[in-house]
Amino acid sequence: MSDPDSEEGRHLKEVEADESAAGKRLDQWLTEALGPELSRNRVQALIRGGAVMLGTQTVTEPKRKVVIGERYAVAVPEPEVQVPVGEAIPLDILYEDDAVIVINKPAGLVVHPAPGNRTGTLVNALIHHCGQKLSTIGGAHRRGIVHRLDRDTSGVMVAAKTDEAHMALAEEFASHGRNGDLERVYVALVWGVPKRMAGMIDAPLGRALQDRTLRAVVPENRADSRDAVTHYKVLERYGEGASEGGGIASLVECWLETGRTHQVRVHLAHIGHPVIGDPAYGRAFRTKAQRLPEDAAAKVAALPRQALHARVLAFRHPETGEPMRFEAPIPDDLKEVMACLAGL
């Protein structure tokens, strides 16, 4: 699951009703506010389709009267990007047969083309490597893609070569492993050390109100709330006080019971231990690096991504039913940071 996230194939645009909007129908005003690219009929379809939010509430009535000061968020369709073509991008292949291909995705590699990343993606690499032997269920821009990792998260991913394999894997991921042997294990370098060496974070997720491309822990009764459960275990503690259970940072292993967008990153930040280098959920903790010795602080500052790695992925083979388990070693950039922290 998965990149900096907006609605699939859409971008979110916020508009505020001024005096000229007062009393107008929502569809009429949004057509004027969003510009000539969208017809009134298209705007009506977006409203009825749940693409318009007023605060935390979805608005589905085009005839609704607009009130001055209301702020609406509209998931506006992105213009279609060109059909992706194969590109000779190196792949670290862990396993491959006629149904699936398992790869160790490096940090920095976007999973599929979208506005802003039209080329140079994992899909482009898969098309070059597999040719026409990729599932088409997700559409031309997501050929073979069953699940996603954020651009700057490294680790194990599986892609489907046939539509039948895609459907079977998608069902397994959708059930969060309850109907099979799906297992997803991440490791993360985080600021601080959790009070408990192992535990469970059970906190529903929804869109963050201040930035709707991000996620946040939300009340269970909110319309967009989705259950999210992460189990964690502290593997290492670093820095002063580590031997007594404290420390400035720690290595944490996370096992996902559900697979929501940004789940590990949001949950770890929620308990006060955001992932080191996380530009979205760890911003407030950047000053922590000032407590590090100069060499360690420089190594952390030089890390160009969040210190999060999908180390293990296990699932049942979509054709044979055989349990499959793959592990990607912690990449060198994270090992270097770990080595600096271990020397504190």
pLDDT in tens, 169-190: 998 988 775 666 899 999 999 9
Banded pLDDT at 79 (limits 50, 70, 90): low
Other CB atoms within 10 Å distance of the CB of residue 294 = 7
Question: CA nearest 29: which of 52, 12, 58?
Answer: 52
**pLDDT score recorded for residue 10:** 62
**pLDDT score recorded for residue 7:** 42
Provide the annotated active-site residues.
Answer: 150
Whether the model clears a pTM of 0.85, i.e. scores above it, the answer is: no
Q: Is the pLDDT of residue 335 over 60?
A: yes
Domains detected in the chain: 10-77 (3.10.290.10), 93-174 (3.30.2350.10), 184-342 (3.30.2350.10)
Backbone conformation region of residue 192, classed left if phi is above 0, alpha if psi is from -120 to 50, else beta: left
Question: CA nearest 231: which of 181, 169, 186?
Answer: 186
- 262 DSSP assignment: T
**pLDDT score recorded for residue 177:** 59
Cβ-based neighbours of 150, under 8 Å, separated by 6 or more: 2, 3, 4, 262, 265, 306, 308
For residue 206, the surrounding DSSP H or E stretch is: strand 205-207
**Averaged pLDDT score across all residues of the chain:** 89
Torsion sign, CA atoms 168, 171, 176, 178 = negative
Cα–Cα distances in angstroms (integers) from residue 255 to residues 110, 128, 230, in the given order? 23, 33, 6
Other CB atoms within 10 Å distance of the CB of residue 132 = 8
Helices of type H across the chain: 26-34, 40-48, 122-130, 163-174, 263-270, 294-302, 332-342
**pLDDT score recorded for residue 114:** 78
User: pLDDT tens, 189-247?
Assistant: 999 999 999 999 999 999 888 787 899 999 999 988 999 999 999 999 998 777 777 78
**pLDDT score recorded for residue 1:** 34
**pLDDT score recorded for residue 158:** 98
Banded pLDDT at 2 (limits 50, 70, 90): very low
- 186 DSSP assignment: E
**pLDDT score recorded for residue 320:** 96
**Lowest-pLDDT range, 20-24, 189-193, 211-215, 269-273?**
211-215
Q: Is the pLDDT of residue 326 over 80?
A: yes
**pLDDT score recorded for residue 286:** 73
Mean pLDDT calculated for residue range 110-127: 90
**pLDDT score recorded for residue 182:** 93
